[in-house]
Amino acid sequence: MISRPTTEAGPTTEAGTTAEARTLASELPEHVGRTVVLRGWLHRSRVLKAVTFLVLRDRSGLAQVVVHDACVPELEGLAEESVIEVSGTVTANPKAPGGVEVTSPQVTVVSAPTAAPLFDLFRPTVPASLPTVLDHAAVTLRHPRLRAPHAISAASVAGFRAALDGLGFTEIHTPKVVASATESGANVFTLDWFGRPAYLAQSPQFFKQTMVGVFERVYETGPVFRAEPHDTARHLAQYTSLDAELGFITDHREVMAVLGQVLAGMVAAVRERAGEACALLELELPSVPEEIPEIHFEAAQELLAAHTDEDPRGEPDLAPAHERWLSAWALREYGSEFLFVTGYPTAKRPFYTHPEPGRPQFANSFDLLFRGLELVTGGQRLHRYEDYLAALAARGESPEPYAGYLDAFRHGMPPHGGFALGLERWTARLTGADNVRLATLFPRDLHRLTP
Amino acid sequence: MISRPTTEAGPTTEAGTTAEARTLASELPEHVGRTVVLRGWLHRSRVLKAVTFLVLRDRSGLAQVVVHDACVPELEGLAEESVIEVSGTVTANPKAPGGVEVTSPQVTVVSAPTAAPLFDLFRPTVPASLPTVLDHAAVTLRHPRLRAPHAISAASVAGFRAALDGLGFTEIHTPKVVASATESGANVFTLDWFGRPAYLAQSPQFFKQTMVGVFERVYETGPVFRAEPHDTARHLAQYTSLDAELGFITDHREVMAVLGQVLAGMVAAVRERAGEACALLELELPSVPEEIPEIHFEAAQELLAAHTDEDPRGEPDLAPAHERWLSAWALREYGSEFLFVTGYPTAKRPFYTHPEPGRPQFANSFDLLFRGLELVTGGQRLHRYEDYLAALAARGESPEPYAGYLDAFRHGMPPHGGFALGLERWTARLTGADNVRLATLFPRDLHRLTP
């Protein structure tokens, strides 16, 4: 019934991992009446008097294995998280999860754990604190509920790329180490580059704009780095930025329209590619309206002044509490979980921001709020060389550190714009996680540099 | 005929960028007889006595625009790389490139350059040195021949992901900053992480292995960093690593089989998605044999000793010249541009390498040579905790810095393995570039940190 692994000192090829075709747990219903080989982890073992139930976990889900022998002492000692191979007969049983189970099994232990998990991975909830979960990611992420957000994250990125591929975008890969700490000055990590100081890139902004001159429409899905000393549930020092930039636009509204299509593509991909994870977390996926509602920054401030205890008029930005209020308002007014806030004050936006025609104190920019949180920032950029020189001069900055970037604008650039979406924030909001760290495999922040 | 842009000081919305449906150059043959709007760059302007030929370049290719008026002085002054909009009639002309041209055009200048390119972007060859090309990437990459490798690179990555998605892999995003310079010790960039020393990740190796415990099959396409002081045509300090790792394998041969499928998927994607770029560069794409030929390291050394002037037997690695010879040999013997060399000496491989059963001095590892160059490294890894402790002890290393990684192996891990493919090397080999920097948008190396 049970074969133990050989206990030779040296590593060898594994018994039981021959090339026999493997069946995944999710495929069992297609194989009723047949003998199959399953491989995975012993998710749970329940030894009763007359019967032992094993639950095997593989990448596709769970499978119930029933051992009817009255007494199998080896099974009692078989630790959860053992890597096992099960050969047995697929038997229909309406009472079993998924309507099938494996009976008359031969169980082989491929690899036995040397320690028990910090908590039972088979229980529906996670009885550990966030730091414990993160400190032991190698094992805690095996818990189906902790794993699910990452399946949803992967599906989201696939949807992002597929939507943009369909719109004629080209994927790019840009440097993550740069010579000057230009884009926002502070909050930048410094490193030693062959004896010279260098900096981790805070965004691919300059590169993606430059590449509009080459490919017109580009995207990148990669890490960005912010040395932000904030210790909050929504800040990470490394996060995955989903960036897009496109040329030949009229203004920021064309960027917003593309973003709407991208969001719809991401939700569709999550539905198609991560359906199991969504079901496990009992998620209600958002519907992306054909036209995402939009409110101008000024109007948003008026609304907040009229309907809340605060008067934010004159402030250059929205506070998190304001974003939550506006999000709730959009849901009430428009039934939309997404809201564009446009026309942020130019002074608070980066120098490359394109002003609103006729009202240069406001920018052709937008933030996208999703379920109360700022998820995306974007807008139209300047595209004329003279405008860049003027914008830098107005901020008292020299154009010199930007030479490689400004080069693009000396050689003819179309009106263009783009956006950046924080993957972890998206996944956290989508899965109802109260901390972006639950949407990050191995978070990096002010305190956390391992595992 | 020609409208100049308004010369207001402040930026405004552009004349001529209304929402009129735009036609791409490549779509012109479908529109013969109709009036279309093209947008792009003035790639070339040839003013003859009775006729002026404009070539417009957009993301899809080139379009010929014919101005029949006897004298249009504005056109003579119109700088190449101007961003223009052309409205005109699509007219069949068997002598025109692509069989169509645009006649009776209205040309609007959207954005004029303030400087001329360093060299003519419309000439078939690039008359500039590599440093010049790289220093001025913002404009030089617009040259169709310099742009083409990057279109091929994007298609390759799409093919990589599609092949692995089809095989049940999950995409992951892992930290690029790590607490200890573990994997290969030297050649690591140091940075200041909120006052603590930290290091740029040299590979996602530890993370992807750990994630086999969660997803069984994972991949990542992201930047890795090597502080290698080599100043060669094939080394970069940042490159894009296409990483995959899979569990429940018998040995490294299953990894090699997956890699074969991935390579076939990459070539197919390049053919489908970057056909224009391939045609422009007159590429012959490699065919990936159903079974890529394979030679053991020992046999490779025997072969080199027998057929070349050198005797590499006893050496722990193959020199670049040996790789070239073996590659040429595989092409002669098997008609294959790909060759696996398996069984490298364990001593030269990282501690997590799985030894060959019965011959522990050799590893269950492989390199893939492609057109003379090492393109991929991979193999089977250890999966038992005790084996890791023994391997580290044998190298005189403490397990302590590896705690978060080793955690995975204490909790049951299946036999697994994976590979890493250098994207820029692949693209360079595929496109015949003699330097990986021509396959990198903005290379980073010993000397280069800008643009």
Q: pLDDT of A2-21, one tens digit each?
A: 454 433 333 333 333 344 68
Residue of B nearest to A191 (CA): B191
Contacts of A408 in chain B (CB under 8 A): 138-139
Which residues 215-254 on chain B approach chain A with CB closer than 8 angstroms?
A: 215-217, 222-223, 225, 227, 229, 237-238, 240, 248-251
B141 contacts chain A (CB < 8 A): yes
Q: Do B412 and A83 touch (CB under 8 A)?
A: yes
Is domain B2-111 in CATH 2.40.50.140, yes or no? yes
Contacts of B382 in chain A (CB under 8 A): 11
Contacts of B412 in chain A (CB under 8 A): 41-42, 79, 81-83, 111-113
For residue A319, what are the CA distances in angstroms to A231, A432, B141? 17, 21, 41
Contacts of A390 in chain B (CB under 8 A): 9
User: How far is Cα B49 from Cα B68, in angstroms, rounded to an integer?
Assistant: 10
pLDDT tens digits for range A64-111: 999 987 556 677 789 999 999 999 999 999 999 889 999 999 999 999
Residue A208 DSSP class? H
Q: Residues of B marked as binding for L-aspartate?
A: 183, 226, 377, 381
Which residues 71-110 on chain B approach chain A with CB closer than 8 angstroms?
A: 79, 81-83, 110
CATH superfamily of B137-439: Bira Bifunctional Protein; Domain 2 (3.30.930.10)
pLDDT tens digits for range B225-263: 999 888 899 999 999 999 999 999 999 999 999 999 999
pLDDT tens digits for range B114-139: 999 999 999 999 999 999 999 999 99
| Whether ipTM exceeds 0.90 | yes
- Token pair of B254 as six digits: 């299953």
Q: Do B196 and A449 touch (CB under 8 A)?
A: yes
User: How far is Cα A347 from Cα A360, in angstroms, rounded to an integer?
Assistant: 10
Alpha helix ranges (H) inside A123-251: 130-135, 137-140, 144-166, 205-215
The count of residues in chain A is: 451
Closest approach of chain B CAs to the CA of A93, in angstroms?
27
Give yes or no for a contact between A381 and A246, defined as CB atoms under 8 angstroms apart.
no
Q: How far apart are the first and last CA of chain B?
A: 38
User: What local confidence, expressed as pLDDT, does residue B77 receive?
Assistant: 82
CB A265: neighbour CB atoms within 10 A? Answer: 22
Strands (DSSP E) along B68-136, which ranges? 83-92, 100-111
Residue of A nearest to B250 (CA): A17
User: How far is Cα A13 from Cα B250, in angstroms, rounded to an integer?
Assistant: 7
Alpha helix ranges (H) inside A167-251: 205-215
Closest approach of chain A CAs to the CA of B129, in angstroms?
18
User: What local confidence, expressed as pLDDT, does residue B88 receive?
Assistant: 97
User: What local confidence, expressed as pLDDT, does residue A212 receive?
Assistant: 98
Question: Residue B186 above 90 pLDDT?
Answer: no
| Mean pLDDT, residues B168-189 | 88
Long-range Cβ contact pairs of A314-323 (< 8 A, separation 24 or more): A316/A344, A316/A345, A316/A347, A316/A348, A317/A344, A317/A345, A317/A348, A318/A367, A320/A373, A323/A369, A323/A372, A323/A373, A323/A374
| Of B427, B370, B431, B378, the residue nearest B236 (C-alpha) | B427
User: What local confidence, expressed as pLDDT, does residue A183 receive?
Assistant: 64
b/e sequence A357-380, b meaning 16+ C-beta within 10 Å: eeeeebbbbbbbbbbbbbbbbbbb
Contacts of A24 in chain B (CB under 8 A): 168
Which residue from A17, A137, A250 is facing B250, i.e. has the nearest CB? Answer: A17
b/e sequence B197-210, b meaning 16+ C-beta within 10 Å: ebbbbbbbbbbbbb
For residue A244, what are the CA distances in angstroms to A163, A166, A168, A258? 11, 13, 12, 9
Q: Is A264 annotated as a binding residue?
A: no
The more confident residue out of B9 and B235 is B235
Residues 6+ apart with CB under 8 A from B31: B23, B90
User: How far is Cα A294 from Cα A257, in angstroms, rounded to an integer?
Assistant: 12
B425 contacts chain A (CB < 8 A): no
The more confident residue out of B34 and B186 is B34
Q: Do A415 and B240 touch (CB under 8 A)?
A: no
Which residue from A22, A251, A444 is facing B13, i.e. has the nearest CB? Answer: A251
User: How far is Cα B266 from Cα B274, in angstroms, rounded to an integer?
Assistant: 11
| Mean pLDDT, residues B101-106 | 95
User: How far is Cα B75 from Cα B98, in angstroms, rounded to an integer?
Assistant: 24
Instruction: Please report, for chain A, how many H helices and E strands are present, in that order.
Output: 12, 19
Give yes or no for a contact between A340 and A293, defined as CB atoms under 8 angstroms apart.
yes
User: What local confidence, expressed as pLDDT, does residue A277 receive?
Assistant: 97
Segment holding A356, helix H or strand E: strand A355-356
Q: Do A191 and B192 touch (CB under 8 A)?
A: yes
Question: Residue B1 above 90 pLDDT?
Answer: no
Closest approach of chain B CAs to the CA of A189, in angstroms?
6
- In one letter, which amino acid is B334? Y
| Mean pLDDT, residues B91-110 | 94
CATH 2.40.50.140 location in chain B: 2-111
CATH 3.30.930.10 location in chain A: 137-439
b/e sequence A281-309, b meaning 16+ C-beta within 10 Å: bebeebebbeebebbbbbebbebbeeeee
b/e sequence A159-172, b meaning 16+ C-beta within 10 Å: bbbbbbbeeebbbb
User: What local confidence, expressed as pLDDT, does residue A19 receive?
Assistant: 46
Closest approach of chain A CAs to the CA of B313, in angstroms?
26
pLDDT tens digits for range B320-357: 999 999 999 999 999 999 999 999 999 989 999 999 99
Q: Do B450 and A114 touch (CB under 8 A)?
A: no
CB A111: neighbour CB atoms within 10 A? Answer: 22
- Angle at which helices B205-215 and B403-410 pack, to 10 degrees? 30
For residue B393, what are the CA distances in angstroms to A9, A179, B242, B400? 14, 41, 31, 11
Q: Do B411 and A138 touch (CB under 8 A)?
A: yes
pLDDT tens digits for range B354-380: 999 999 999 999 999 999 999 999 999
Long-range Cβ contact pairs of B263-268 (< 8 A, separation 24 or more): B263/B288, B263/B292, B263/B338, B264/B163, B264/B288, B265/B159, B265/B160, B265/B162, B265/B163, B265/B166, B266/B156, B266/B159, B266/B160, B266/B163, B266/B426, B267/B159, B268/B159
With a cut of 70, which residues of chain A have pLDDT below it?
A: 1-20, 70-73, 182-185
User: What local confidence, expressed as pLDDT, does residue A47 receive?
Assistant: 87
User: How far is Cα B117 from Cα B128, in angstroms, rounded to an integer?
Assistant: 11
B26 contacts chain A (CB < 8 A): no
Most B CBs within 10 Å: which of A41, A59, A354, as the mutation test of the B interface? A59
B118 contacts chain A (CB < 8 A): no
